[in-house]
Amino acid sequence: MGAEERNVKPRYGTVNFEKRKHPRFSVDLPVEYSRVDLSVEQGRAINASEGGLLLYLPEQIGMGIHLRMKVFFTMGSELNAIETEVEVVWVDMHLEKDRGDYRTGVRFVEISTEDVGKLKNFLKSLSG
């Protein structure tokens, strides 16, 4: 072994930290969603950012599907809701067997300026 080889430090796997455009906040919020011409279903938002939501839904929905959604939350003593169109951007294939929920990531596709303001104020209230 040459001198160069003996002084080489072992290499370890690198960590790839995900860089998010918007900070995420842990939440537990009821949501209602529907596909075009289908009945309204219920799920839960588990975390939220200005860019999208992590949902627990009772059914598996394919990537690229668009949903109409209402997200309900309280600010102070007031009940609020935002309405949005979201796109499914990822689906966790591992079913939460005890709950029957599918973890689903969605991004906001269409949301009114007023509802963006409500969402930003809500998220700001979570950050202290």
All structural domains of the chain: 26-126 (2.40.10.220)
Measured CA to CA, the distance from residue 18 to residue 9 in angstroms comes to: 26
Burial of 47 (0-12, 13-18, 19+ CB in 10 A): middle
Measured in whole angstroms, the distance separating CA 105 from the mean position of its chain's CA atoms is: 5
**What's the pTM value of the predicted model, to 2 decimals?**
0.76
Collapsed DSSP state (helix, strand, coil) of residue 99 = coil
Closest CA to 44 of 57, 35, 26: 57
How much is the pLDDT for 10?
47
Name the pLDDT band for 92 (thresholds 50, 70, 90): confident
How many C-alpha atoms does 54 have within 13 Å on its Cβ side?
11
How much is the pLDDT for 14?
43
Name the pLDDT band for 101 (thresholds 50, 70, 90): confident
Closest CA to 23 of 45, 48, 44, 46: 48
Tell me: the pLDDT tens digits for 25-47? 899 999 999 987 678 999 999 99
How much is the pLDDT for 21?
74
